[in-house]
Amino acid sequence: MARSKEPVLFAVPGKGKATLEPFSTFLKDHGGDAQHIVEVVCDMSPAFLSGVAKELPNASVTVDGFHIVQTFTRSVDEVGKLEGREKPLPNHLRWAVLKRGTPGNLTDNQTIAIAEMLKQGLDTATAWRIKEKLAWIRKAKGPRAAQWRITHFINYARALVGETPRLEPVRKAIRTLENHRQRVVQRWTSTYTNARLKGMNSLFQAARARARGYRNDETFIGMIYLIGSPVSSMIKST
């Protein structure tokens, strides 16, 4: 089975810890053992993490860097919405701050919007600067360096946000990173990531859009297996 190309093993409706019990049962029914799962790569959902502790007790948890970036990007969006209710923000700023600010990644209008935001000294600019600083953490060469950079980043971010009320979403994101820092550092020693499945999700959603939705979860899950699991290869070989 080409697990690198067809990574879907099991799909179930719902989210959180309620999805892990049927997965554990699935393993048992197919000769597996949840006790043998040694690592889980996931987001920071408290419900899901509690389910991992219960159903996969021997698994260490790695928080994929994608989820940290997503958390801080969401905080930038929330700050922008709060600030936008009180004052006009530069045109084209909404989507510009959600993208990476690397050269060539923004349109001309978005680049102008970012420059105007920084010139005005908006709270959204502070949130954006912090989000962009995450790239520095990801460049760490190993777990020790990553640990040091995360500590430095947290101190840097807290100094920037201060007590400004409008930046509370960023403070929440900082606390999330601080609470999960060890799981984030695991990324530097782990050989696993859920990036491929995140990418394949666009294929799953495109299939659903082409079908104009599915009447039930079971039909959609069947399509996920056909696209992302070895089932399609097995069908072709028969």
Same domain, 136 and 217: no
Q: Calculate the alpha carbon distances from 54 to 49, 59, 77, 160, 212 in Å.
A: 9, 10, 34, 39, 37
Same domain, 42 and 77: no
Same domain, 176 and 70: yes
Angle, alpha carbons 130-86-95 (nearest 5°): 45
Residue 2 lies in a domain: no
Q: What is the pLDDT of residues 66-108, one digit of tens each?
A: 899 999 999 999 999 999 999 999 999 999 999 998 888 999 9
- 209: containing domain: 16-63+193-236
Same domain, 117 and 159: yes
DSSP 215: S
Residue 106 lies in a domain: yes
Residues paired with residue 42 on neighbouring β-strands, in sequence order? 63
Same domain, 53 and 88: no
Same domain, 81 and 170: yes
Q: Tell me, what's the pLDDT at 222?
A: 83
Same domain, 140 and 214: no
Q: What is the DSSP string of 125-171?
A: HHHHHHHHHHHHHHT-SSHHHHHHHHHHHHHHHHHHHTT-GGGHHHH
CA 184, chain centre distance (Å): 12
Q: What is the pLDDT of residues 31-78, one digit of tens each?
A: 999 999 999 988 888 888 999 999 999 999 999 888 999 999 999 999
